Structure 1
Amino acid sequence: MVHPTSIASFNWGKNDQIQTRLRRDLQTDQRAAQPHHVGGMCQFTFRLPPIMNVNPAMRVAMAEFLTDRPIQRTLEDARLLNWCLQTVKLTAVQTTGDGNCLLHAVAMYMWGVQDTECVLRRQLYNAIWADPHGVLRERWERQRRMRNASYPGGGLQYTPEEWAREWQLMVSMATPEPANPVSGQHCYRSLEEFHVFTLANILRRPIIIIADLVHRNVEGHSLAPVHFGGIYLPLLWRPQLCVRYPVVLAFHNQHFTPLMAEEAVPAPNGPASSQSMPPAQEQAIPLTGRDLQLLQVQYLQPREENRVMELLRQYLHIVEVPLGDDGRVPAALIDGPSVPAELNFITDLLQHDWSGQGAGGVGEAGAPQAEATGSRCSQGAEGLSVSGQHQDQSLLADKLQQIGLANPPPNPSPASSSNPADPSQGSPQAMPQ
């Protein structure tokens, strides 16, 4: 019996249909807020099969195949994931560790397939390369200035030439061309928080990332800050043109995975509801941490900083979730439209013969799998600095010398880290910036 190597491998025909539809759905309209974007395909959410309703052996095999257990365990133990019992449990699903894991995770969350043909990554690169109105660079530069100012000794100061050099680095990092093949496999360059913000605007859909605040070694000691965690809103678009159900990801150990809920199943004599969770649980994700502090909203302009909750309510469906004596916490609903039946892999997963299925995990055939520790071709591997930014290493070294800090760690090898408008309705108009 041939064992599947990825969700897509359960039905390659569906995978091909999704890739074809996605290519047709790519939009280029110079009048739009983000000229390079994706149309109606980005409204969908792929959900896991309701494994509590299958026999125990099948349940174990399916969970072993799908779940990234190191990431799941680490984030749950740190009370970063599934800490709120009133919201549905989310599962970290494995993605390939080839450096394109950010795009893989986003594609998996929406359709159940990875970005193996770099369709999303190429659109990301085109968006940053073009940036005709300069709005992406403006937001990137403002957040970078604030980050640079946090360095000890007065912060980092860039010359105009250095700013231009840094921006070109942001563009080149998103290239869909592989770099430094590992064992004959493609390995892509690392991506930063800025690329996540750009991706949210390409999709016209919010992205929420659950992550620790620091990168830790195997002993748990902090090595460098991690800035990926937070909420990325498609702020370049009017809210009414955006999908209000977020893409939800986890980031840990330089790797991205999608955080997925189970598909709801029909109750015996009632509407659809998941039998594997208590009725009181909301299909939502909290917008605060366990400390009840709001997750950071990334890449805000000054005029937006005092309107955070207003913006969240415009771009997300927000509900108030009770927390017992602690009051209530805002949460974003995640129960948007499911992948259409003709493209959905749930039936394929449930009908598969799981007997004899060994521990493997999601990943394209022959592709390197993500590991819990050690080096990997993945996000954050290139140019990791003491600030957690993947800045140009020589420039960073010069700046650190200027303010008297120790030399940054050596530069590892490069690695990697859609909101629907119906194409038939024409391209939406830009939101004034």
Structure 2
Amino acid sequence: MTDQREKWACDYCTYENWSSATKCTMCRAQRSRAPIITEEPYKISPDLDPTRKWDLPANEGGSSLLICPDSSARPRIRSAGMAEMATKWSCQMCTFLNWPRAIRCTQCLCQRPKSCSPTESPHTSSSNAGGRPALHSPVDPCEEYNDRNRLNTHQRHWTCSSCTYQNLPKTLKCVVCDHAKPYHHEAIELAQPPDHSAIINEQDRARWRAGGVGGCSGGQRRSPPLPKREDHVQMDFQRIELAAGAMSGKEEQSMDFKKLKQIRNRMRKMDWLFLSACAGVVEGDLATVEAYKSSGGDIARQLTADEVQLLNRASAFDVGFTLVHLAIRFQRQDMLAILLTEVNQQAAKCIPSMVCPELTEQIRREIAASLHQRKGDFACYFLTDLVTFTLPADIEDLPPAVQEKLFDEVLDRDVQKELEEESPVINWSMELGTRLDSRLYALWNRTAGDCLLDSVLQATWGIYDKDSVLRKTLHDSLHDCSHWFYTRWKEWESWYSQSFGLHFSLREEQWQEDWAFILSLASQPGASLEQTHIFVLAHILRRPIIVYGVKYYKSFRGETLGYTRFQGVYLPLLWEQSFCWKSPIALGYTRGHFSALVAMENDGYDNRGAGANLNTDDDVTVTFLPLVDSERKLLHIHFLSAQEIGNEEQQEKLLREWLDCCVTEGGMLAAMQKSSRRRNHPLVTQMVEKWLDRYRQIRPCASLSDGEEDEDDDE
């Protein structure tokens, strides 16, 4: 009876099978005529009889003829004894245990570190140190076996496209996952032996990942070196690899890395941002899409074949796909709404800052020059100029068709409709909107993570925060006055959670972690901001900010997702009242997006007859901003301290102290926003005039078309 301990090693996967098995249990490979090995190494007689053990005495030097268990084709070598079996070296790349005399890994061809090379002896090292030329060691038969084994593997196996298992060429289905054998050109290329250049390319990549050519660097794996022009976007490529899924070792061996490297070298910063945005749509990360758009990226850009190969996820990315296609495939309704709005409106919009780029740059420099830091304990930055943007009254002098075109290009109709009709937040009072001529208009804003900062500058100076000057000022103010803002934020959050019945208490470490996250958002361009940042912006502007927003988050299909907390009044409570202005600005909030709410110039408050006596000039425009909602409830005041939080009467008293308030004839409490073209900044006035001249030039054409229509009617 055959001893059950006797096993034979498979030539392909080195799995040790029982002697009765005719095929490998693991890979189903046919058993070869290799000598059978047992669980314990034994000595082989000169006639190499695999079925008989010989009780021969060991040599004095411990050398006996051994058969390598991984393949019968491997040349037989003299071993130093049983201790050599326990001195296998582990590959730093794939952790495969190789024979001691192999200078490269049998599996991945990773170079063995020179520090532990068996061909180098202490005598040779000392000779090299002394300046003598190093002696060339003869070619190791193990190394020849490694090369031959690798070539034979590629000739005999085909790689499964589903699980990457290497199957025998005769198998029609994968033995692991039953996936059908591919018959396209990729399978043919895998069946052919790779050329010498591909072997060298894989060897280089193995050296790169092992930590350097010819040696190891602390056991750390490194990516292949990139050109200097791509260093600043290397993190984007790492993020794309994580989003698309890391490739397995067998897939890496079958890929043409030379071509992949050429593709990566041709990539520019905008290309990496586009690939990051594509991966962000798949993962549901809106920040990457906003970063791509804020950098001037084209939303309608399509994926190329090289970019799809670089992303390496065929189930997600196809050639010709855009960000909109990816949002539809992965059902990103919120992203789809933003992307479609951007595609439809980006080319059709025309705002003053787009028409006058030279004046816009001068205004940005003026804003940067007017920013100063207050001396003392509360070292917060502030603006020295009081500027309020309003639509010019000359718009009413244009023909109706031109007015409609102007409003279509400068306003956000979707935001206007949502704030007016779907949930009445603005212009719900006929008294304010009609008789007092205080109708608010939602300016079109970029759908990016900087929409809050853009809307603040639009409501004041009429431009975007393109250079992130306001964001940097926001971060510096939060960092320099962290203790002041942190105390207000912590106290307000504790009271707010208790008011909603959420009786919980956080440890100081948890409060510090949440505050660190708020600080990090302020320093990241494109990152969405929170209520705390609006509170800080009120201190930078030195004036109140009123946010008219929807109460609930809603999906693209209209489903309610959660409760919003942005609507309310933000006062610069940490300043002295004498240091601040009482004229507020208004912002609108819808579906994670902020828009500037501005009014149109009028003939002054004295001519409107609202029941109050104001000593103002005729050139001053007064806009009445309601301090109550459509249900006549007082708007919330954010970030009040424990002493300032009280009943509605106390909060109304606080509003009167920080705002120019009045009560209309209908009994509505409103704040007065005062602006004057004559007192406004001259650069802003010049920019608005140039923008308006664009529509004045098309006035004769519109009038001519109207006259032709009248003649046709007479006929």
TM-score of the aligned structures, taking structure 2 as reference length = 0.44
Give the structure with the higher percent helix. 2
Q: Greater CA radius of gyration, 1 or 2?
A: 2
Alignment of 1:311 onto 2:654? yes
Q: Which residue of 1 aligns with 2:236?
A: none
| SS of the residue 2:589 aligns to | strand
C-alpha distance in 2 between matches for 1:29 and 1:320: 35
Q: Tell me the SS of whatever aligns to 1:283.
A: strand
Residue number in structure 2 paired with 1:246: 584
1:149-188 aligned at under 5 Å gives the runs 149=498, 155-175=503-523, 177-178=524-525, 188=526
Match of 2:456 in 1: 106
Deviates more, 1:336-345 or 1:23-32: 336-345
Distance (whole Å) between structure 2 residues aligned to residue 290 and residue 311 of structure 1: 21
User: Residue 320 of structure 1 corresponds to which residue in structure 2?
Assistant: 663
Match of residue 52, structure 1, among 391, 396, 399: 396
Mapping of residues 334-349 of structure 1, within 5 Å: 334-338=673-677, 339-344=680-685, 345-349=687-691
Point out the more displaced range, 348-357 or 292-301.
348-357
TM-superposed CA distance for 1:313, in Å, is: 1.2
CA contact (8 A) 2:349 2:409 kept: no
Assess if the C-alpha contact under 8 Å between 2:661 and 2:669 holds in 1: yes
Tell me the residue number matched to 1:118: 468
Q: Confirm or deny that 1:22 pairs with 2:364.
A: no
> Is residue 574 of structure 2 the alignment partner of residue 224 of structure 1?
no
1:329 and 2:668 aligned: yes
Cα offset, 1:335, TM superposition:
1.8
Does the 8 A contact of 1:75 with 1:211 survive in 2?
Answer: yes
Q: Within 5 Å, which residues of 2 pair with 1:356-367?
A: none
Distance 2:608 2:543 in 1: 28
* Structure 2 letter corresponding to 1:293: K
What is the CA-CA distance between 1:342 and the residue it aligns to? Answer: 3.4
Q: Distance in 2 between matches of 1:147 and 1:305?
A: 11
Aligned-partner SS, 2:467: coil
Contact 1:58 1:355 in 2 (8 A): no
Q: Secondary structure at the match of 2:674?
A: coil
Could you tell me which residue of structure 1 aligns to residue 142 of structure 2?
none
Q: Quick check: 2:544–2:569 contact (8 Å CA) kept in 1?
A: yes
* Residue from 416, 420, 425 that aligns with 1:72: 416
Q: Secondary structure at the match of 2:586?
A: strand
Aligned to 2:625, the other structure's residue is in SS state strand
Residues 1:81 and 2:81 are matched in the alignment: no
User: Displacement, 1:220?
Assistant: 3.3
**CA distance 1:228–1:3, shift in 2 (3 Å):** closer
Deviation sequence 1:99-125 (CA, Å, 0-9, x none): 000010000000110111111111110
Q: Deviation per CA, 1:6-49, whole angstroms, max 9, x where unpaired?
A: 4212222221221111111111233164x2322322x1101112
Answer yes or no: is the 8 Å Cα contact 1:26–1:36 preserved in 2.
Answer: no
Determine the structure 2 residue equivalent to 1:375.
none
1:350 aligns with 2:703: no
The question of whether the paired residues in 2 share the 8 Å contact of 1:17 and 1:343 is answered with no
- Code of the residue aligned with 2:674 in structure 1: it is D
For the structure 1 residues 314 and 248, does the alpha-carbon distance in structure 2 shift closer, same or farther, using more than 3 Å as the test? same
1:200-219 mapped onto 2 (5 Å cutoff): 200-219=538-557
Q: Aligned-pair distance for 1:355?
A: 7.8
Contact 2:350 2:410 in 1 (8 A): no
**Residue of structure 2 in register with 1:37 after alignment:** 381
From 478, 486, 492, the equivalent of 1:128 is: 478
SS at match of 1:86: helix
Q: Does 1:144 align with 2:493?
A: yes
State the one-letter code of the partner of 2:656.
R
Q: CA deviation at 1:314?
A: 1.6
**CA displacement at 1:159 relative to structure 2:** 1.8
Q: Is the 1:214–1:225 contact (alpha carbons within 8 Å) kept by the matching residues of 2?
A: yes
Gaps (5+ residues) in structure 2?
1-346, 433-437, 612-621, 700-715
Change (3 A) 1:150 1:273: closer
Structure 2 counterpart of 1:318, which letter?
A: C
What SS class does the counterpart of residue 197 from structure 1 fall into?
helix
Q: Secondary structure at the residue paired with 2:495?
A: helix
Q: 2:650 aligned with 1:301, yes or no?
A: no
Please give the alpha-carbon distance, in whole angstroms, between the structure 2 residues aligned to 1:23 and 1:30. Answer: 18
Greater shift in the superposed pair: 279-288 or 57-66: 279-288
Question: Which moves more between the two structures, 161-170 or 51-60?
Answer: 51-60
How far did residue 53 of structure 1 move?
Answer: 2.1
Go from structure 1 to structure 2 and tell me whether the alpha carbon gap of 1:350 and 1:128 turns closer, same or farther (over 3 Å shift).
same
Paired residue type of 1:57 = A
Q: Which amino acid aligns with 1:330?
A: L
Distance 1:273 1:59 in 2: 22
Following the alignment from structure 1 to structure 2, what is the Cα–Cα distance between the partners of residues 322 and 83? 16
**Using the alignment, how far apart are the partners of 1:149 and 1:305 within structure 2?**
13
The separation in 1 between residues aligned to 2:409 and 2:696, in whole angstroms, is 10
Secondary structure of the corresponding residue to residue 312 of structure 1: helix
Q: CA deviation at 1:71?
A: 1.0
- Asked whether 1:189 is paired with 2:533, we answer no
Amino acid at match of 1:308: Q
For 1:347, give the aligned amino acid: E
1:224-255 deviation digits (Å, cap 9, x = unpaired): 01000000001011111111110100000100
Partners of 2:377 and 2:369 in 1: CA distance? 18
Q: Provide the secondary structure at the position in 1 that maps to 2:392.
A: coil
Which of the residues 589, 601, 619 maps onto 1:263?
601
Higher RCO structure (Cα 8 Å, ≥6 apart): 1
> Which amino acid counterpart does residue 286 of structure 1 have in structure 2?
P
Give me the whole-angstrom Cα distance separating, in 1, the residues matched to 2:696 and 2:675: 29
Taking the aligned partners of 1:63 and 1:22, their CA distance within structure 2 comes to 27
User: What does residue 388 of structure 1 align with?
Assistant: none
Q: Is the 8 A contact 2:410 2:444 kept in 1?
A: yes
Corresponding residue of 2:246: none
SS of residue matched to 1:146: helix
Q: Calculate the TM-score normalised by the size of structure 1.
A: 0.71
Partners of 2:568 and 2:637 within 8 A in 1: yes
Tell me the amino acid that sits aligned with residue 343 of structure 1.
V
